[in-house]
Each structure stands twice: as C-alpha cells, then as structure tokens.
Amino acid sequence: MAQKKKDSKMMGKIIKTAVSGVLCVALAGGMVAANVLIPPNASSVQSILGLKSGGIDNSKAKTEGINMEYSKPGFDTEAALVEDEIALNKKIAAEGIVLLKNDAGKMPYSTDTTFSFVSHSAVSYIGGNKVDMKTAFEDAGFGVNEALWKFYSEGNGKDYGLGVGSVSYGDDEDFSINECPLSVMKAEPGLTDSMKNTVPVFVFSRVAGEGRDMPRSMYNHTDVEEDKTKTYLEPDSTELEILQYLNDNFDDVVVLLNSSAALDLSWVKNYPSIHTVISAPAMGDYGLCSLAEIFSGKVNPSGRTVDTYEMDAMNSPAAQNFGDFAYYDEDGNLTKYNYVSYKEGIYVGYRYYETRYEDKVLGQGNAGDYNYADAVMYPFGYGLSYTDFEWSDYDTSWDGDTCTVTVKVTNTGDVAGKDVVQVYAQSPYTDYDKANKVEKAAVELVGYAKTAELAPGASETVTITFDQEQLKSYDYVNAKTYILDAGDYYITAAKNAHEAVNNILSAKGKTVEDGMTADGDTAFVATYTPANGTVDTTTYKLDTTTGVEITNQLDHANGGLQYLSRSDWTGTWPTVDGEVSDQISTWGNPINGTDAGGKAASYTYRKTISKEDLAKLDSFDSLNPTDFSTLTDEIVYDKDNGLGLIDMRGLDYNDEKWDALLDQLTPSDYQTLITQSGYGTAAIKSVDKPSTTDRDSATGLINYGFDASGNLYFKGNITHCGVI
C-alpha cells in the first residue's frame, strides 16, 4: 500500500511537471502573441481592461484661458445620454426594417398573439444586441413560446447555429449553417405541442465577416451531398425540412430575414402558409425593440431595399467571375497572388436587371430570352407599408444646373405611416456611347426623401434636388474623362427602380403588350435636354472640388478583357476568366454546379502571370514619381515652440501653427503614432496630446459609450426596451 502511495505521488509530480511545462509553453506563446498584437491596439486593450493610457494626466492639465465648454455634451447626466442613445438606436432601426411580403394582411399582429421563434438564430440574432428577441417581444406585449426559447438557449438545441463566417484575413472561416434538425425538435417531449395556437416565426440568418466574401457554394461547408451545390444565400436541406413542417402544420408563418446580404427567397412561393417576409438585419443593441413594435403596429414599416433580391444570384453577370482565382508563374507554380476580373462593368444589381429588361421590351441590344419575372424577386427600392399612399402633382424645374423635383404624397389608408419618394434619371444611350464603350444603366437613383409620419388623409409635398453633374458618364476610350451626352434625359419619381423603368417605357409608348411587367405612369415622367448639342467632353473634365484634371490613370491595367455591354447582351456575356487548375478551392466554386462527371466540384481558376508583372507585384516600390533628392524642406524634430494640441482647436487646416506643432514631435513620437494607432492613438507628451479611442467609423458606438463627463462606460446593464 505504501509503495502504491509513493508511486501515486511520483505520478502526480510527473503530471504536474508536464502540465506546468505545457502551461509555460502556452504562456510564452501568449506573451509573444501579446507583444506582437497589443502595441498597435493598445488603446483597445486599455479600454477593455478599464486602464488609463500612459502619458498625460489630464486631471492636472492647465486650463487657464481655455474654453472648457467648447465640446460639452448636450446631456446633464449619464442617464439622459443613454436614454437618448436608446431612442436613436430604435429610430434608426425602425426606419430601415423592410416589409417584403404581407399578402394576407396578417401584419401587424394583436398583442394577444404568442410567437414561436424557430431556429437557433432566434436566440443568437446577429447584431450585437443588448435586448434579445424574447425580451423585446414581451416588452411590446406579445407572448413568446417559453419552451421553444429555452430549447434553443439552454436545452438540446443550444449547441447548434451558424458558423462565425470569416473572422480574419487568412484561411480561418466557418460558413456552416448547422441548424438544429426537425428530428431533434420532435424528439423533445412536448416541444412541438408547445407551438400550437402560436404564430411561428422562422429566423433565416446568414453572416459574412471580415476579410473574405461569402462562399460561392456550400461545397466545403457541409457534409450533406444535396447541399454542396447550393449557395450560402439559400436554405439548406435541414432548414427546408423545418419550413415544410411549419407550412404543413400552421396556416400563418412569418419568415424573418437576419442578414445584411440580399438572400435567395425564390423558395418562398413553395410554401403558401408563409404570408409575411420581413427583413431586419443587424440593427444595434435595441433594434429588436423596434422590430417588435413593427409586429404590433406601433411602428409602421417604411424601409426600402438597398439591393435587388435576385431569384438566383448565380445568374447575375458579377457571379460569372466570383470565386477563387489564382495567378501561376511561367513555370506553373502557384503564386501568392489572386485576381478578380470585373467583366460585368457597371451592370451590378439594378443597373443590370432593369437595363436588360428595358432593352428586352424595346427589342434592342440582343437581350436574348431574358425574363425579368424569372430573374428578380424584389427590386431595388422596394418596401411595403400598413397603409396606402397616393402621389400627385409631379413637377420638375431647373435652376441652372440644379433640378428640383416635387411630389405631393397623401396617406389614403387607415393608419399613420411614412412613404419614400425616389427619383431616377435615364441618360440617352447613343451611337457615340456604343462606339466608345460608354455604358449606361436604364435608370440611376439620383435622389430620394422620406415623408414625415402622415396621419390618414394628411398630405406632404416632398422636395428632392439633384445636380446635372449626376447625369455625367465616364468615357475611358475617347475623351478619357467624364462626358455629358447630348439628347433627351428622362426624370421620373417612382416607388422603386422597376417602377421607374416602367414609367419611362410608358413615356416611350410601350405597354404590357410589348412585354412590360406592368404599365407605368407617364404623369411622373419629365424630360430634360441639356444645352449642349453634341457630346460635352469639357464641363466635367475638372474635379469640382480640387480643380484637378480627371483622366485615365490605369490604362496599363486594362487586361484586354471583354466587358459586358448593353449593345450586345448575349454576345458580351461574361465568361470565366481563367482555366481550371488542379487546386481544390477553399471557397467552394463549382463550375455551373457540377464537374464533367456531373458531381459537385470545387476548383481554383488560374491564369499565368509574366515575370515582369510578377516582379511588379513583389516590389515594394511605391511608384511615387517624386525625386526625393530634389526636396529642400528641412525636417525639424523636438523643437520647443511652446504649443500644445489644445492650441490648434478651431484653426484652419492650412494654418502655419500646424507646422510649428509638428516641429515639436520627436522621431519616437512619429513612430508611436504610426505603429500604435489601432483603434486609437497614444498620448504624446511633446504636444500634450491625450490618448484617443477611435473605432472604425460608427462601429465604436456598438462597443463603447461615454458619460456626461467624458468617461468611458459599458452599457451591459440595460436589457429591456424601455429607458432608464
């Protein structure tokens, strides 16, 4: 027995030593990583840990003669600031949520309704929310299926859910869908029974990430054979099985889209119980509160689509050269460089779908067998409301180069709501354009405005202005600058891009008999003819802000590609730029969905790059044409000019004091400012510059806030839709 105890102790020491060794190695690795990653992101790390940046102690700063009220927040208390922040978040979200389908008028719902939120995405809604779906809807007065919510949040459904997408600029990615199967739901005692007498809301989510696009196909992201050729934008077999179950067992199903991408919704027509589709992508901490208020009718949806919802994204011209394209050297070796050939030119989104549609109706441009209804689910600028609006008194007037468009909007429905007036312009597509490869879209959005909330029967005259400059086009072949074509321009007000094209086609004398999807309204179309009687190649040749001449800069990068042209849609349709390599693509890039054997495949496409061009890519030469030997300016460091950054407040950008201030910086200061500027800048003592926190644009508003005294605080304690 004594020997066993001794052996046991010895084994324990061995294990402790081994574990300690592993921990030491891990700690050493962590320290190395920290030394690499922390310095350039020091401000973020210090903010998260609640630490102060080294440098200036602002509490001892000299304030004599300084206006301390200069940038005082407009809030007396932290509570007032947070209250305003929540209200603003909810308003922005409410204005942007888009109601896509409401064919049976099921929306809005009585607060007597209980919702069953289906899919793991319901409890992991994308958007950095402080208020979850359950809380938001309960705060709005609705009931929420508690059993189903707990199943996804803490029960047998909790370990499912979307992969994180792409999280870095390397190969780390996870686009798995991993939805909890219907069989797991049915195996849970009483779970499906708990959905009786509720309205199921299927949450359809997709995530992208940073540093990489969504995959072209799911080939590398699923083990289910039938899902391998599907795009990430459409439901997989597990999701479709759930949708079929909901369709077969409920007479009212809501689909809630939680994605910043325009998802493939072509399948919705196969499920007649789906009466409502609503798009609510990432909306900030309190956006779900606004979503719940749209469900209840407290808020009337007024958002509009900012993309075209395609029936099949892989049929778009941009998709023909989207995937994994790699350069090989002249010896056949894979290089570290990739390429993308943008053969689609300007024809992306509505600029493609609406333009080819017009050409099909007009019988021009070799439009082929194109059918708009088979290509587009919801057009750009589309969105529904709970009320109806009538437009009248359309007018356009020009004052010099500025056009003013007015439309009277009247709420003819039964509830208050907001409408959006969109103004589109069509430029003439001339023989000059065709000869010089100047491409024109059928319509382009030149302005828009949303009404105030209009009570039933109330009206508002909406005014939108735009400048003639917005009608210019770029001629890279002949003029090599911006041009303004001669001829008639059409200006129309419409509810979306497709309605705009139909309005203009009607003004050209076309009807549904000519293949239009619907007749347009000529009452909302005006024409404009610029004074120039020929192609104007000078008016917009100079940049209106800097006065610098605008001309081609990258002629050497043309590549000899055939770009898509509306002069010959079928003849210039993009082909894959490259040949199939023997490399398996991590992006999932099937050729037309299958390989030569009829099975799903995933390839890399390749092109050979010359030694000369490869050397240019490898070079660190900035190609700056400046001859540095000709520079005569003296570089000054560490000069005592007695200035601080506070002295620069309110000065013009070109004020000479800035040069004097910069002369005070040391070489070390410059090094610090350049190399340690991730999400903020360090304190610099030579000019009394405090440390700053500068997140990427508005992203900073998601992570941090500041109280009335300018102190950082975290907002994790606010978990309801109401204010403090």
Whether 581 is covered by a domain: the verdict is no
Whether 369 is covered by a domain: the verdict is yes
Whether 244 is covered by a domain: the verdict is yes
* 493, pLDDT greater than 50: yes
Say if residue 345 is in the same domain as residue 491.
Answer: yes
> How high is the pLDDT of residue 602?
60
* 202, pLDDT greater than 60: yes
Say if residue 274 is in the same domain as residue 336.
Answer: no
Domain end call among 525, 557, 589? 557
Domain end call among 557, 588, 609? 557
Whether 496 is covered by a domain: the verdict is yes
Average pLDDT score over residue span 24-34: 43
CA-to-CA distance for 442 and 439, rounded, in angstroms?
A: 10
CA-to-CA distance for 516 and 506, rounded, in angstroms?
A: 9
Provide the H-helix boundaries in 397-466.
431-435
Whether 644 is covered by a domain: the verdict is no
Say if residue 216 is in the same domain as residue 329.
Answer: no
> How high is the pLDDT of residue 128?
65
Beta-carbon contacts of residue 615 (< 8 Å; ≥ 6 apart): none
Whether 116 is covered by a domain: the verdict is yes
Average pLDDT score over residue span 488-509: 98
CA-to-CA distance for 657 and 678, rounded, in angstroms?
A: 27
Whether 720 is covered by a domain: the verdict is no
Say if residue 350 is in the same domain as residue 233.
Answer: no
Domain end call among 557, 585, 611? 557
**Can you give the residue range of the structural domain that contains 414?**
321-557
CATH of the domain at 247: 3.40.50.1700
For a pLDDT cut of 90, what percent of the chain falls above it?
A: 68
Say if residue 289 is in the same domain as residue 372.
Answer: no
Average pLDDT score over residue span 224-229: 91
Q: Largest alpha-carbon pair distance within the chain?
A: 109
Selection from 205, 382, 177 nearest residue 282 by Cα: 205
* 26, pLDDT greater than 50: no
* 262, pLDDT greater than 70: yes
How does residue 127 score in pLDDT terms, banded at 50, 70 and 90?
confident
Say if residue 334 is in the same domain as residue 291.
Answer: no
DSSP 9-36: HHHHHHHHHHHHHHHHHHHHHHHHHHHH
User: If 0-12 CB within 10 Å is exposed, 13-18 middle and 19+ buried, where does residue 462 land?
Assistant: buried
* 208, pLDDT greater than 90: no
CA-to-CA distance for 468 and 472, rounded, in angstroms?
A: 7
338-395 pLDDT, tens per residue? 999 999 999 999 999 999 999 999 999 999 999 999 999 999 999 999 999 999 999 9
Say if residue 141 is in the same domain as residue 202.
Answer: yes
> How high is the pLDDT of residue 63?
72
Say if residue 253 is in the same domain as residue 121.
Answer: yes
Say if residue 189 is in the same domain as residue 276.
Answer: yes
Average pLDDT score over residue span 295-299: 98
Q: What average pLDDT does the chain have?
A: 87
End-to-end CA distance of the chain, in Å?
66
Say if residue 354 is in the same domain as residue 210.
Answer: no
- Return phi, psi of residue 395, to 5°: -150, 145
Say if residue 222 is in the same domain as residue 352.
Answer: no
Domain count, the chain: 2
The answer to which of 160-174, 276-290, 307-321 has the lowest mean pLDDT is 160-174
CATH of the domain at 545: 2.60.40.10
Whether 425 is covered by a domain: the verdict is yes
Say if residue 121 is in the same domain as residue 267.
Answer: yes
Containing 447, the helix (H) or strand (E) segment is strand 444-450
How does residue 593 score in pLDDT terms, banded at 50, 70 and 90?
very low
**Bridge partners of residue 276, in order along the sequence:** 102, 254
